[in-house]
Amino acid sequence: MTEEMSVALLADRGIVEVEGSDAADFLQSLLTNDIDQAAPDRAIFAGLLTPQGKIVFDFLVYAPGPNLFWLDCPAEFTADITKRLNLYKLRAKVAVTDRSSEMIVGAALPGSAAASKARAVLADPRHPRLPRRAVIAAADITRDTETEAGALAAYHATRIALCVPEGGRDYLYGEVFPHEVCYDLLGGADFDKGCYVGQEVVSRMHHRGIAKTRIAGVRGSPPLPAMGTEITGGEYPVGQFGSSAGELGIALIRLDRAEESATHGIPLRAGDTILTLRRPDWANYEVPASEAAT
């Protein structure tokens, strides 16, 4: 697909390509989502898990052509993702290649610089108000570091306002389960597909409804604390802070502990910053003492 469009380049994203006659079956046996739902006009969100069900990596998956998939993933992990997938390859007829030097990920943001010949332009499957994603040949782009940094900040401000978490920014890979970061609500898992690595744990959490930790938006006086800062209610840990933009942020919250703090009138703090919780508009769970995220 070729389309003229204006995009903001996302310098923190990269592309890992999976190509070959076994590519679909290969990814279907590994990822949390149904790879058959990826199409030239439709992206999916999916994760790769440990056998114990924790997220190793996650990505948006594009299927621009037959037996061809692009994984839109954090740029700092493209080499690790390529290596990990090659370990699973065994005799499968697939080639896994880091294409980040050849293809650039962008997002359609108002006022962004023009970039032509986008190879794929797709809606972000996690939220209808997130910008459309694009994959553009690096050769078709004139890089401007200062403009790029501003565009990247604008994209993440949009994402954070919508309370859509991102691996490496709002949670650490290897430490969380898919339900804790709301794969079930953000389209990251298919609960009817066949087996994949970690599937039993994900299925059990889904059917038992045992996820006590969930994503919440937060509001506080900037500058907000760094990722990983502990959120407390009095003396007790309640969650961990993720990414932020201005006065808004995203956090992993133990809902039961947040409820207890709210019941006793104890404010939540991250360092010296008092936080107000925000309930995502896509959430099907209650966030104690929260305001609606819009």
How does pLDDT run along the chain (294 residues), one tens digit per residue? 344 456 788 999 999 999 999 999 999 999 999 999 999 999 999 999 999 999 999 999 999 999 999 999 999 999 999 999 999 998 999 999 999 999 999 988 765 554 556 677 899 999 999 999 989 888 877 666 667 788 889 999 999 999 999 999 999 999 999 999 999 999 999 999 889 999 999 999 888 877 899 999 999 999 999 999 999 999 999 999 999 999 999 999 999 999 999 999 999 999 999 999 999 999 999 999 889 887
193 is a domain residue: no
Structural domain containing residue 283: 212-292
Residue 243 CA to its chain's centroid (Å): 12
pLDDT score at 144: 66
- Residue 188 domain-assigned? no
Residue 248 lies in a domain: yes
Would you state the pLDDT for residue 6?
65
7 and 127 fall within a common domain: yes
Residue count of the chain, please give it.
294
pLDDT in tens, 153-212: 999 999 999 999 999 999 999 999 999 999 999 999 999 988 999 999 999 988 887 789
Question: Cα angle vertex 82, ends 165, 199, to 5°?
Answer: 55
Co-location of 143 and 225 in the same domain: no
Q: Report if residue 130 sits inside a domain.
A: yes
User: Is residue 49 within 8 Å of residue 56, measured between CB atoms?
Assistant: yes
The reply to whether 149 and 217 lie within a common domain is no
- Residue 256, amino acid: D
